[in-house]
Structure 1
Amino acid sequence: MVNIQENDNWKSAVKTVKKLDPKKLEIVKSTLPVVKEHGEAITKRFYKRLFENHPELKNIFNMTHQVSGDQPKALANAVYAAAANIEDMSAIMPALERIMQKHRSLNIKPEHYPIVGENLLGAIKEVLGDAATDEIIDAWADAYDVISDVFIRAEQELYKNAESQPGGWAGFKDFVIDKKVNESDIITSFYLKPKDGEQLPVFIPGQYITVKVDIPQEKYTHLRQYSLSDRPGLDYYRISVKREDPIREGLPPGVVSTDLHKLFHEGDILPISSPAGDFYLDINSNEPVVLISGGVGLTPVTSMLNYIAFEQPDRKVYYIQAARNGKVHAFRSHVRNLSSEHPNVKSYFIYEKPTETDRQNQYFDKEGYITLDWLKEVLPSNKAQFYFCGPTVFMKVVNSFLKEWGVPEKDIHYEFFGSFGNLEDE
């Protein structure tokens, strides 16, 4: 049995919040509606200021998210939610954990917070104009100090956790691509081993690593998070990367995913940060588990599946994967083999547009899309822990099905990069 322990000592920092002056607290509360109304305009202006004043920070931020508008929207949600809950930030603990885990994985440090604060306050002043009086800006400056103090103290605990465990490390560490495997027409797995040959720290199934990629033709370093797609306790980490083509006209293809596919080979070096993330299997439970994924969203739930199959043989698990067809479906044979070899594992595949080969070889169990009626047919009940990951639209549909079926909120878990809120907010 792999020995995995969750370390939640960072939560004490969230529960211990510096008090904001009552008068300034009242000013922040009274101006929250206008800050929310102009939230995206403020954060867009913030990023413009930030990168003009500190272009070196482009080595940390995902610039594709800047082009698509995802990052400004996520930050606007975060600023509003944190300020709205400044008296008791533990009320938004799940969302805080998501951001703090990402910060730790990206190596965000205390010295970054004053830079962010200066440019955020400047953006508020520029967007709101004369309405942002000195008194209002001063109140928001103190509020930002309170919020950033919580993040800094909690993230310091996360750094300690990552570094103190057996095999742990700080920052980025060089790994060798030991093996590169094509899993489908668009997904490739990279098996990574530490260059120094040291022990690998364990992780909780569902977590991710950050990969640091320097591309010759690119001015700045690129950081990307990829879920670990195999179980902990092995002598390698595995990430399974989808080649990201442009999602709409005017947007570039995924810079890092494309170059990983084309330019990186066995024997090459990839610096990575130690595993992080708030989406992970409840390893201390023996409740039945339902794993639902769409497309490359299968990566974290496949890690969970492998862990349960080999480490929790008495725990029932239902693995449901939706894909366009067999050409883009990764791990099909592996999952079917687990189903036949492990009595506690059941698997179902849904193909939107199956090919003739898919039909001839009976590669799928359902054609079309996932439906609530179908879930009720293949699952014995809604008494299970549900984990799901995939495109936003897919997850919103799955989430609505589970709510309609009466699955309790505590049993619904999903992976959602880039958002401070939840699926209902999107």
Structure 2
Amino acid sequence: MLSDQSARVVRATLPAVGASLGTITEVFYRHMFEERPELLRGLFNRANQASGAQRDALAGAVAAFATALMEHPGERPDAVLGRIANKHASLGITADQYTLVARHLLGAVAEVLGDVVTPAVAAAWDEVYWLMANALIAMEARLYAEARVEDGAVWHTMEITERHEETPDAVSFDLGHPDGSPGGAFVPGQYVSVQAQLPDGAYQIRQYSLSTAPGRETWRITVKRERSADGRVPEGEVSSWLHANARPGDTLQVSLPFGDLLLPEGDSPLLLASAGIGVTPMLAMLEHLATVSPERPVAVVHADRSPVHHAHRLELSERVAQLPNASLHLWYEVTDHPDAAGDHVNEGWADITPISPAPGTIAFLCGPLPFMKTVRTDLLAHGLSPRDIHYEVFGPDLWLSK
């Protein structure tokens, strides 16, 4: 793990580095994109760069990793990195790219902190970076090996076989191989990356959960069109492009499935809590449970603006109805709609109190970060173990940065 000498230096400089991480990551991305502008147009999410979300996520991950090294010096904090490794694998990141990141990230530390970065300080933080990078490289290599592909070789061409308008802002696409071969195996809860070429020639990549169970001939993704704050002008580059342009017969570059929100085997009670488009991995889990473990106790909680905005609303009810020991709890901000009636429909924000999940329940969360943090806090208050609460976010993982 971290050497004793470096540990002393990192412990002494962590407050200064931590306080400046936002500026450090800003300088890092600026210089890296100046040298390699194609990375911003073909790999990194331009919207997240513009908003600062990616910088915040990187800063949070580095701070969490360094802090964990200090608090548990005998361990490598791989748990902090699992979600990042899966995201990187879905993008086809390879080991050589970490050298480029090291040069610009450590250069940004020196530029921002100036004389504070002595040779000893630079060496200590170089050690921290490579502990983190090598852990990610090893995890990603293992993911590629499990997928039986060369490192980074995750992309293949898939054809849109069907398109369905789910809500005014959500559309689903069935994806198959052009030669008619099956989509391929995955674990319920995983996602794929989708690459789109936008009108300005840039390639942008986004992740979408697979929203049906394994074993079908095709995969399905559901894309919510992201809108600006006023709710009128489309904001999401890729989601808007897919809504406007993607039709049956078109092809897309799609990655192999990755992600660590994985439905576990066994008979432990489950709680699936989602909001908005976060319902998609839950649909895959529920469909899979109906085949492999229909008697398993499952509580399903979903929150949305209204029934009209609830993508796959009827399908969710049908999936729950297939499981004799499952219950459905819907929460809508607006319930003045004919489909908002029923014993399982509630008005307002999601509340798990009526469910009273038993200790030993394994919970899966997917949706906006404030929703997931609130539900997690409530679950902990009900006695669930932190290790049994799992979550998925799309885009930068800001959980550690707030």
Does the C-alpha gap of structure 1 residues 262 and 90 become closer, same or farther in structure 2, counting only changes over 3 Å?
A: farther
Give the SS at the match of 1:183.
strand
- Return the match for 2:374 from 388, 393, 397: 397
In the aligned structure 1, how far is the partner of 2:13 from the partner of 2:230? 36
Q: 1:332-352, CA deviations, whole angstroms, 9 ceiling, x for partnerless residues?
A: 222222344442332222111
Q: Aligned pair 1:338/2:319, yes or no?
A: yes
Q: Aligned pair 1:70/2:47, yes or no?
A: no
Give the SS at the match of 2:78.
helix
In the aligned structure 2, how far is the partner of 1:329 from the partner of 1:44? 37
Which stretch shows the higher mean deviation, 29-38 or 366-375? Answer: 366-375
- Return the match for 1:223 from 191, 205, 212: 205
- Return the match for 2:329 from 348, 360, 365: 348
Give the fraction of aligned pairs with identical amino acids, expressed as a percent.
Answer: 35
Deviation at 1:219, TM superposition (A): 3.5
Deviation at 1:259, TM superposition (A): 0.8
Q: 1:22-44, CA deviations, whole angstroms, 9 ceiling, x for partnerless residues?
A: 43443233222211111111001
Query: Where does residue 157 of structure 2 map in the other structure?
Result: 174
In the aligned structure 2, how far is the partner of 1:149 from the partner of 1:226? 27
In the aligned structure 2, how far is the partner of 1:155 from the partner of 1:128? 31
8 Å CA contact 2:195–2:253 kept in 1: the answer is yes
Query: Where does residue 3 of structure 1 map in the other structure?
Result: none
8 Å CA contact 1:293–1:322 kept in 2: the answer is yes
8 Å CA contact 2:92–2:152 kept in 1: the answer is no
Does the C-alpha gap of structure 1 residues 113 and 89 become closer, same or farther in structure 2, counting only changes over 3 Å?
A: farther
8 Å CA contact 1:98–1:277 kept in 2: the answer is yes
Alpha-carbon RMSD: 2.6
Query: Where does residue 10 of structure 1 map in the other structure?
Result: none
Query: Where does residue 115 of structure 2 map in the other structure?
Result: 130
- Return the match for 2:242 from 260, 264, 274: 260
Query: Where does residue 261 of structure 2 map in the other structure?
Result: 279
In the aligned structure 1, how far is the partner of 2:143 from the partner of 2:74? 17
Question: What amino acid is the match of 2:390?
Answer: H
Deviation at 1:99, TM superposition (A): 0.6
Give the SS at the match of 2:363.
strand
Q: 1:88-111, CA deviations, whole angstroms, 9 ceiling, x for partnerless residues?
A: 685533321111111111111112
Deviation at 1:155, TM superposition (A): 1.4
8 Å CA contact 1:309–1:344 kept in 2: the answer is no
8 Å CA contact 2:295–2:323 kept in 1: the answer is no
Q: 1:104-148, CA deviations, whole angstroms, 9 ceiling, x for partnerless residues?
A: 111111121111011111111111122222332233234323332
Does the C-alpha gap of structure 1 residues 85 and 410 become closer, same or farther in structure 2, counting only changes over 3 Å?
A: closer
Does the C-alpha gap of structure 1 residues 190 and 144 become closer, same or farther in structure 2, counting only changes over 3 Å?
A: same
Q: Aligned pair 1:195/2:178, yes or no?
A: yes
- Return the match for 1:371 from 326, 346, 351: 351
8 Å CA contact 1:176–1:193 kept in 2: the answer is yes
Query: Where does residue 409 of structure 1 map in the other structure?
Result: 386
Deviation at 1:366, TM superposition (A): 0.9
Does the C-alpha gap of structure 1 residues 414 and 36 become closer, same or farther in structure 2, counting only changes over 3 Å?
A: same
Query: Where does residue 86 of structure 2 map in the other structure?
Result: 101
In the aligned structure 2, how far is the partner of 1:248 from the partner of 1:141? 44
Deviation at 1:82, TM superposition (A): 2.7
Q: 1:55-107, CA deviations, whole angstroms, 9 ceiling, x for partnerless residues?
A: 12111111111122111111112222333445868553332111111111111
In the TM superposition, what are the counterparts of 1:131-170 in structure 2 within 5 Å?
A: 131-163=116-148, 170=153
Deviation at 1:263, TM superposition (A): 0.7
Which stretch shows the higher mean deviation, 362-371 or 38-47? Answer: 362-371
8 Å CA contact 1:82–1:89 kept in 2: the answer is no
TM-score, scaled to structure 1: 0.86
Deviation at 1:232, TM superposition (A): 1.1
Does the C-alpha gap of structure 1 residues 267 and 68 become closer, same or farther in structure 2, counting only changes over 3 Å?
A: same
Does the C-alpha gap of structure 1 residues 355 and 335 become closer, same or farther in structure 2, counting only changes over 3 Å?
A: same
8 Å CA contact 2:283–2:319 kept in 1: the answer is no
8 Å CA contact 2:89–2:152 kept in 1: the answer is no
Question: What amino acid is the match of 1:389?
Answer: C
Deviation at 1:315, TM superposition (A): 1.1
Q: Aligned pair 1:384/2:361, yes or no?
A: yes
8 Å CA contact 1:125–1:132 kept in 2: the answer is yes
Q: 1:180-218, CA deviations, whole angstroms, 9 ceiling, x for partnerless residues?
A: 111112111111112243343321111110111112x22
Which stretch shows the higher mean deviation, 409-418 or 97-106? Answer: 409-418
8 Å CA contact 1:211–1:223 kept in 2: the answer is yes
TM-score, scaled to structure 2: 0.91
8 Å CA contact 1:210–1:272 kept in 2: the answer is yes
- Return the match for 2:274 from 269, 293, 306: 293
Deviation at 1:53, TM superposition (A): 1.0
Query: Where does residue 81 of structure 1 map in the other structure?
Result: 64
Query: Where does residue 5 of structure 1 map in the other structure?
Result: none
Query: Where does residue 240 of structure 1 map in the other structure?
Result: 222
In the aligned structure 2, how far is the partner of 1:382 from the partner of 1:184? 36
8 Å CA contact 2:197–2:203 kept in 1: the answer is yes
Gaps of 5+ in 2: none
- Return the match for 2:105 from 120, 130, 133: 120
Q: Aligned pair 1:46/2:28, yes or no?
A: yes
In the aligned structure 2, how far is the partner of 1:252 from the partner of 1:45? 29
Deviation at 1:294, TM superposition (A): 0.8
In the aligned structure 2, how far is the partner of 1:185 from the partner of 1:26? 56
Query: Where does residue 14 of structure 1 map in the other structure?
Result: none
Query: Where does residue 314 of structure 1 map in the other structure?
Result: 295
